[in-house]
Amino acid sequence: MGRVRASWRVAGAVGLLAVAPLALAARAGAGPRPIYQTTRHDAGTPNSDVVVRHHGVVTSYGDSAITYSAPPATLKALGYALYLENCATCHGTQANGVPVAGTTGAYPNLVGLGPATIDFWIESGRMPATDPRSVEAPRRPPRLTHHQALAIAAWINSLDPSYPGIPTVHLRGGNVATGMALFALNCAACHTIEGDGDALARSTFAPSLRHIPATQVAEAIRTGPGNMPRFTGNLSDYQVRDIVKYVTTEIQHPRNPGGFGLGGLGPVGEGFVALLVGVAGLALIAFWVGERQ
Ligand code: HEC
Ligand code: HEC
């Protein structure tokens, strides 16, 4: 008799364990979705009186540090086909963030975001997303090629031409020291001075900057993906170039003036290695010089 009751209890517990995650999942799905609609038309434009246009498209802000380009309009048709295949289920066939039979505000509106934003999210592998409810879509190996990203950006941009274009950073002439100072001031609070990234509030995080190509660093600075602020008027193109140069040289290829780098673990980890090697070495020496019987 007792044995039967115990096995019922075990079955009950197992049942509860199986149902609990389902109940939690149902709750998460039922909650209000975040409002994603943005008004970011022409975002990422630095304050500048000098605006150089080429066929109506802003190509630079009067200096040689960064040139911006709009993807060629000839890619529009290809871009629309790729968009329908890869993006429309979530962002809607009009790219306005309203999926077929969906609710307004369920997904970000992409119209008017500018080619740099579209290019960044595709080339950093964040889009097309796999999780429709993701709060911070993670960086992944890109699933579309550079050409395909340009094509999709060309079609979306044709709906409402906007800035910033896709930046090409002319790193030659950039100043790493100035870049480091600007990075410490503007970026290190979230990404850490070594660029390793860190946790932020509500299970979001600032990612590591160790393997990000120059174009994507500039795109992130100018467009502010997700929870990252957008840096526009407060950073000139010269300053963005210096920061990108610092990130792609010092952070991604650190020099170690002090000998072995130990993977840039920081003072605590490196101090621990020094202690371990030092104490073990001293112990060995003491053992060697000490008297033995
Ligand atoms: C499974 C659904 C889904 C698919 C498919 C998808 N997206 Fe997204 N997209 C999202 C979600 C959710 C977000 C918000 C994620 C975040 O903030 O981290 C987002 C964000 C974006 C953003 C950032 C918008 C902003 O305001 O900063 C861009 C740009 C974007 N998507 C473009 C695309 C493109 C282009 C495609 C197709 C190649 C695509 N997405 C496919 C769900 C999707
Ligand atoms: C308030 C915190 C914050 C500050 C300040 C900040 N970032 Fe970010 N950054 C983020 C977050 C959060 C993300 C991830 C966004 C996402 O994936 O939705 C990010 C993403 C990035 C990425 C993309 C990395 C990847 O994995 O693709 C780059 C590059 C970047 N930041 C560079 C910078 C630079 C350079 C600065 C200074 C000019 C800066 N960030 C300032 C929070 C910050």
d(CA 90, CA 11): 41
- CB 46 near ligand 1, within 6 Å: no
* pLDDT band, very low/low/confident/very high, at 291 (cuts 50, 70, 90): confident
d(CA 227, CA 140): 18
* pLDDT band, very low/low/confident/very high, at 270 (cuts 50, 70, 90): low
In this predicted structure, what is the pLDDT of residue 64? 84
* CB-based contact 129:51 (threshold 8 Å): no
Instruction: Name the packing angle between helices 237-246 and 214-223 (round to 10°).
Output: 130
- Taking only the tens place, the pLDDT of each residue in 162-204 is 888 999 999 998 999 999 999 999 999 999 988 887 887 777 8
- Report CA(6)–ligand 2 centroid distance (Å): 54
- Taking only the tens place, the pLDDT of each residue in 79-129 is 999 999 999 999 999 998 887 777 776 788 999 899 999 999 999 999 998
- CB 227 near ligand 2, within 6 Å: yes
In which element (H, E) is residue 101 found?
A: none
- CB 90 near ligand 1, within 6 Å: yes
- CB 38 near ligand 2, within 6 Å: no
**pLDDT for 12 beyond 70:** no
* pLDDT band, very low/low/confident/very high, at 285 (cuts 50, 70, 90): confident
**Ligand in closest contact with the CA of 134:** 1
- Report CA(128)–ligand 1 centroid distance (Å): 6
In this predicted structure, what is the pLDDT of residue 25? 41
Domains and CATH numbers, the chain: 34-251 (1.10.760.10)
- CB 234 near ligand 2, within 6 Å: no
* pLDDT band, very low/low/confident/very high, at 29 (cuts 50, 70, 90): very low
Is-above-0.85 flag for pTM? no
Residue with tokens 């210096």: 242
**pLDDT for 263 beyond 90:** no
* pLDDT band, very low/low/confident/very high, at 262 (cuts 50, 70, 90): low
* CB-based contact 193:72 (threshold 8 Å): no
- CB 127 near ligand 1, within 6 Å: yes
Q: Going by DSSP bridges, is the β-strand pair 57-60/66-69 parallel, antiparallel, or unpaired?
A: unpaired
In a 3-state reduction of DSSP, which class is residue 288? helix
Between 9-18, 119-128, 266-275, the lowest mean confidence (pLDDT) is in 9-18
In this predicted structure, what is the pLDDT of residue 194? 86
- Dihedral pair phi/psi, residue 168, rounded to 5°: -115, 115
- Taking only the tens place, the pLDDT of each residue in 209-225 is 999 999 999 999 999 99
Mean pLDDT of the 259-279 span? 67
In this predicted structure, what is the pLDDT of residue 13? 52
- CB 155 near ligand 1, within 6 Å: no
* pLDDT band, very low/low/confident/very high, at 143 (cuts 50, 70, 90): very high
What residues are paired with 57 via a beta bridge? 54
Q: Give, for ligand 1, the residue of 127, 131, 203 to mutate: max count of ligand atoms closer than 8 Å to Cβ.
A: 127
d(CA 193, CA 187): 8
In a 3-state reduction of DSSP, which class is residue 68? strand
First to last CA, the chain: 71
**pLDDT for 48 beyond 80:** no
Between 25-29, 38-42, 66-70, 188-192, the lowest mean confidence (pLDDT) is in 25-29
Identify whether 164 is preceded by a cis peptide bond (ω within 30 of 0): yes
